[in-house]
Structure 1
Amino acid sequence: MMLSPLASDPDFSPSGFREMVYRALSKSPPAQPASPSDYDLNPEMIAARQRADAFQSARPAAVLIPAIARPVVTLLFTQRTEHLAAHAGQIAFPGGKTEPSDASPLATALREAHEEIGLDAALVEPLGTLDLYLTGTGYRITPVIALVDPNAQLALDTNEVADTFEVPLPFLMDPRNYQRHSRTIGDAERHFYAVPFGDRFIWGATAGILRNMHERLFGP
C-alpha cells in the first residue's frame, strides 16, 4: 500500500502535533489482523500460522516514540551498540519487552527509556498509542507517542546505546522518503521498509512503526 501524500501543510509545532495525535488516535484503529508487522512484505514468513495466532503467542513489548518539543517537532532515535547479540548497530526507539512489574505499555516504554537513555519520565507527556506491531522475532510492540521537553538531559547506557539522534518530523511524515529494500537474513531474502536520513539507515520494525504513524495521522 502506498502512503498518501500530505494534503495540506501540517502544523508540526508541539501544539499542532499534540492536536494532530489526539484527533487521529481518537478514531478506532484497524482490526487486529490489519495491524502492521514484519510479515507485511514477507507473507511466506507466517507460513502455516494464522496472524491471530502469531499475535497471541508473541511476547508483549513497548517502545517510546519521543517527539522532542522543538519549534518543529523532531523524533529521537537510538543507535544500538555493535556488540549486542540482537539487532546490533540498528536504529530503534527506546523500548523493550514488558516486565511483570509494568502496569501498562506506557510503564514499559518509560522504564526502558529511562534505563537506555536516562530520560526522566517527569519530562514526558504521553499522547497516545499506535497499532500493535508484530515482529518476525516474536514480539508484539505497543508504540507510545509522547512529547518530550527539549531541555531533557540524556544519560546513555553505553552497553546498549552507542548514540542518539533526532530527525525532523516533517521528513519522517513525507511519503517520498519511504523506500522498500531487501537483504539476505539467514538463508532467505527478506523485504522491509526503510527511511534513510543522511548517513543513518532507519529500517525494519522501526521504519514499519513510522509508516503506521503516518497512516494513522494522515491516512493510508
Structure 2
Amino acid sequence: MSRTQPRGETPFTAADLRRRLAERHGDPAPDQEFGDHLLNPDIVQLMERENAREAAVLVAVVDRDEGASVILTRRSDRLRKHSGQIAFPGGSVDPSDASAEAAALREAHEEIALEPRHVEVLGRLPRYLTTTGFRITPVVAIVRPGFELTPNPDEVADIFETPLSFLMDAANHVRAAKTLGGVERHFYEMPYGERYIWGVTAGILRTFYERYYA
C-alpha cells in the first residue's frame, strides 16, 4: 500500500490508481523495458531489439463502485498464434496509428467494441519484450461504466473482468516453468478461478504491480 494512502481508503479504486500514476510523474523512461528475458536470461533473440515489432495493449481498469477491475479477453481458438490464451485487448502498431495509445484504443474497439469515449488514458507502463519478437507498450486507462462489449469472433472467444485487488496481490503471482519447443521457459502465472492468466499477460500485470503497488 502506498505510504500516502488516505486512512481507511482501499487502494484498489480508479481514483487511487490515478493518484499513484500522478506520483510517478509521468511515463517511464523510453529505455526502461521489462520482458520475458528477465526470467530467461539465456534467450538471446530478445537482445535483437532493433528487429522487434511494435505492439500496444490496453490495460483497461474499470471504475466499479465495488472496486476496480481489469478487462481481459480469451483469444479465439481459431487463431494461429496464442489461441485460447488470456490477453489484453491489443495488437500491432500500424503505420496509420498516431501513437501507441491510438493503436491500443483502435485494437480495443476492433476486438471487443470498447468505444474510446468511455476511456481515459492515464499513461504507459515500461515496454515489454516478448520471446515472439514483439515490443509491447502497455497503455493504462480508466474505463467509465456504461459501456457495452461485444467480442469480435475472429479474434476473441470471451471477455471478462478480474478484480484489481486480486491482480495486485503479490501472493497471487506464481513463478512457474514449462518446456516449450524443447527449452525450459520461466514465467509468471496468476490463476483466477477457471481463468489461467500467464505468460506475457501475467508479466505485464507483474510490471504494473512492481511500478505502482509493490
Fold-level similarity (TM above 0.5): yes
Mind listing any 5+ residue stretches in structure 2 that lack a counterpart? none
After superposition, the C-alpha distances for 1:156-198 in whole angstroms (9 at most, x for unaligned) are: 1011100011111011111110001111211211111111111
Residue 117 (str. 1) matches residue 112 (str. 2): yes
Distance between the aligned counterparts of 1:89 and 1:60, measured in 2?
A: 22
For the residue of structure 1 that corresponds to 2:110, the secondary structure is helix
- CA RMSD of superposed structures (Å): 1.9
Mind listing any 5+ residue stretches in structure 1 that lack a counterpart? none
Deviation at 1:10, TM superposition (A): 4.6
For the residue of structure 1 that corresponds to 2:210, the secondary structure is helix
Distance between the aligned counterparts of 2:97 and 2:203, measured in 1?
A: 25
Count of residue pairs the alignment pairs up: 209
Percent identity over paired residues? 46
The residue number in structure 1 matching 2:33 is: 35
Amino acid across the alignment from 1:63: V
Residue 58 (str. 1) matches residue 52 (str. 2): yes
Deviation at 1:42, TM superposition (A): 1.2
The residue number in structure 2 matching 1:14 is: 14
Distance between the aligned counterparts of 1:118 and 1:161, measured in 2?
A: 11
Contact 1:6 1:174 in 2 (8 A): no
Contact 2:27 2:123 in 1 (8 A): no
Deviation at 1:154, TM superposition (A): 0.8
The residue number in structure 1 matching 2:138 is: 143
The residue number in structure 2 matching 1:67 is: 61
TM-score, scaled to structure 1: 0.89
Q: Using the TM superposition, name which of 7-16 and 62-71 deviates more.
A: 7-16
Distance between the aligned counterparts of 1:30 and 1:12, measured in 2?
A: 25
TM-score, scaled to structure 2: 0.91
1:1-220 correspondence runs (5 A): 10-24=10-24, 26=25, 29=28, 32=31, 35-46=33-44, 51=47, 54-71=48-65, 72-219=67-214
Amino acid across the alignment from 1:69: D
Distance between the aligned counterparts of 2:21 and 2:158, measured in 1?
A: 27
Distance between the aligned counterparts of 1:109 and 1:119, measured in 2?
A: 11
Q: Using the TM superposition, name which of 12-21 and 155-164 deviates more.
A: 12-21
